[in-house]
Structures are given as structure tokens and as C-alpha cells.
Amino acid sequence: MVAIKAGILGATGAVGQRFVEALANHPWFEITALAASERSAGKTYKEAAGWRLDTAMPESVKDIKVVPVDPKAVDADVVFSALPADLALTVEPEFAKAGFAVASNASSYRMEKDIPLVIPEVNPEHLGLLEVQQDARGWDGYIITNPNCSTIVMTVTLKPLMQFGLETIQVATMQAISGAGFSGVAAMAIYDNIIPYIGSEEQKMETETLKLLGEFNGSEIVPADMRVSASCHRVPVTDGHTEAIWAGMRDKPTPEEVRKAFLNFNPGLKELPSEPAKSLIVRDEIDRPQPRLDRNMGKGMSVSVGRIREGIRYIAMGHNTIRGAAGASVLNAELLHSMGKL
């Protein structure tokens, strides 16, 4: 198999480094371009990156010269975007126009009507929007997005509950500081503290979920007919978003029926390299899941659930920068390739 040439936009940042980690030894993709700001361009990646992960920087990328975030400078077939939303708003369309497949982690285009917002385990059929997008915009390439990190963790758990007639969802999140980037939360602000506000996070969870669980009718996504209410909080945890979820369902399933639905959840994506053996891991211990103990399950790609109680109430937890960010974009690209769209 000929490797697919992959570029990373925003390669030196926190999510960009997760992309490097995920793609350095990938069986389908080969990193051929690392792009970052002008202050990094021209340097080797080891000089520019300021590596922050607890794994070693892959040897294969250390001496790659960083290039500007410009379609003319990037040698790749697919680019993975870890750009800030304001920059992605202008840059990602330039790459799509130039014929690149853009797998974006940015929020800029998630809610655009002709751009798919995808979690492979949840709504792969929404990739039908790609043809709509290319026809409408005249692009040779395209943009596909993955949701917000907290939305991904929650929505993976909601998919197997759709069979019971989901009507209302309430969620309170306890989100890790890495979700704000390496310099995103001052130590004196978060130490010995909880911050009960994350800008635009609640709106993202409330709107993205409806698009993800909606129906593709051949030309657009009809949002799911349910109500989502979110309250989001930053807590002093390094990695791993924990969420308390209340799910109101028409059929009033028992906790045991919900547990079985989680256990039996099989999205049929085992051929994708980044798909874990279990998308959902059910923890029966009374005090699990916990970020420190469960965030790296499935190499960080599994979502753990537990404390399933009458109501229905349960706890969900997932790694926010792997399952909720870089890993999600890589999984989307793997799905595209498996469907012959890459």
C-alpha cells in the first residue's frame, strides 16, 4: 500500500503534537509536511516544537523543516488542522480550494450546513455532505470536521441510547486544563480551584450534539429532535474530561438495559487503525471512571462509562486531546480512506 501523504497545520502546538504522535508510525499515512507560524517556519521540528508530551518526539520528524501554513508550501494529500479557530476560518478553505482534504479539529466550520461534523462511531453517513459541499463551493478538495472534545465524549455514549428514544440530555462537565492549551489557564487561577465557565463550550455541546445525531436527507442535516442543556467547568486535572450525564428517554429503560446497550455497542469500524477494540468501556466499580486511571484506555481513544443509575444518570470520561481532538481527526481521515474518499 502506498502511504498517503499527510501534513499537519499548527504542528508545534499542543494538539499539533498529538497529531505528530498519532501519525508518526501510522500504517496508512506518512508525515510529509509540518506547517506552523512564520516564527517557526524554516526551523527543524525539534528546534521549533518545544515538545510537551510525555512520550518522546518521534525520530522521524525531528529533522523535518517546518514550512509556512500555505497550500503552496505543503506537500500532502490530506492536512490535519490544529489551527486556532480564527486562523482556520481563512486558511482551511484555501487548502480545500487547492485540492487538499482537510481534516479539521478547529471549530470554525463545524456548524456550516454543507460541511460534515463527524464521529465515525456515530454518524458516518453524514460524509454524504462532501459532494454537496464540493458542488456548492466549487472546491476540488473539502473540509471535514470533528466536534468539540467534550461533545465527542458525550455523544459517543448517546449513540447506543438512540434506540430508546432520546428526548432530553443534561450534562455537567469537569474538563481538564489541557483543553485550553499549554498556556491556556494560569496556574494561580486553577490551582485549588474550579472555574465554572469555559467560553462558548456550553453552546458547542448544545448545538453540535443535535447535528451529530441528526439525519442526512441527501442534501442537508436535519437536527435531532431533542433538548440538550450543558454546564461546563474547568478543573485541576491535566488530561481527561469527565461528564455527569442525565438522559431522558421515551422508552424509560432500566439502568441494566442501558448498561447492556453500552456493552453491546459495536460500530463496525475495526478495520480502522485508530479505532479501539472497545469504543465504550463499561466500568462497574462504584468510583469509576476516573481521568488518571481511565483516560489512556484504548490508547486514549476509548470512552469509559460508569455509575449508571435510575434516572438515567451516568458518568462518562475520555481523553480530551486524543479521543477529543487529534485522534478524532485521524479516525475521520481513516474512515474517508476506507470509503474511497481519500
120 and 188 belong to one structural domain: no
- Number of domains the chain is built from: 2
Q: Is the pLDDT of residue 260 over 80?
A: yes
Q: Is 232 a catalytic site residue?
A: no
Same domain membership, residue 306 and residue 171:
yes
Residues 309-334, mean pLDDT to the nearest whole number: 98
Cell matching residue 228: 440538550
Q: How confident is the model at residue 1 (pLDDT cuts 50, 70, 90)?
A: low
Indicate if the pLDDT at residue 72 is higher than 90: yes
If one counts every other C-beta atom within 10 angstroms of the C-beta of residue 274, the result is 26
CATH number for position 248: 3.30.360.10
Q: Strands 280-283 and 221-222: what pairing?
A: unpaired
148, 173, 174, 237, 319 from 194: Cα distances, Å: 20, 11, 9, 10, 19
Percentage of residues in the chain having pLDDT higher than 70: 100
The domain of 47 spans: 4-148+325-339
Answer yes or no: do 263 and 332 share one domain: no
Q: Looking at the structure, do residues 202 and 331 belong to the same domain, yes or no? A: no
CB under 8 Å to 108, separation ≥6 — which residues? 85, 86, 88, 89, 92
Q: Is residue 233 among the annotated active site residues? A: no
Examine residue 281 and say whether the peptide bond preceding it is cis (omega within 30 degrees of 0): no
Cell of 282: 463499561
Task: State mean pLDDT over 247-275.
Answer: 98
In angstroms, rounded to a whole number, what is the distance separating the alpha carbons of residues 266 and 279? 8
In the sheet that holds 313-318, the strands lie side by side as 227-231, 166-174, 241-249, 313-318, 303-309, 280-283
CATH code of 15's domain: 3.40.50.720
Structure pTM?
0.97
pLDDT at residue 81 tops 70: yes
Predicted confidence (pLDDT) per residue in 275-304, tens digit: 999 999 999 999 999 999 999 999 999 999
Cell of 23: 501519525
Average pLDDT score over the chain: 97
Question: Does 163 lie in the same domain as 55?
Answer: no
Residue tagged active-site, from 149, 232, 319, 337: 149
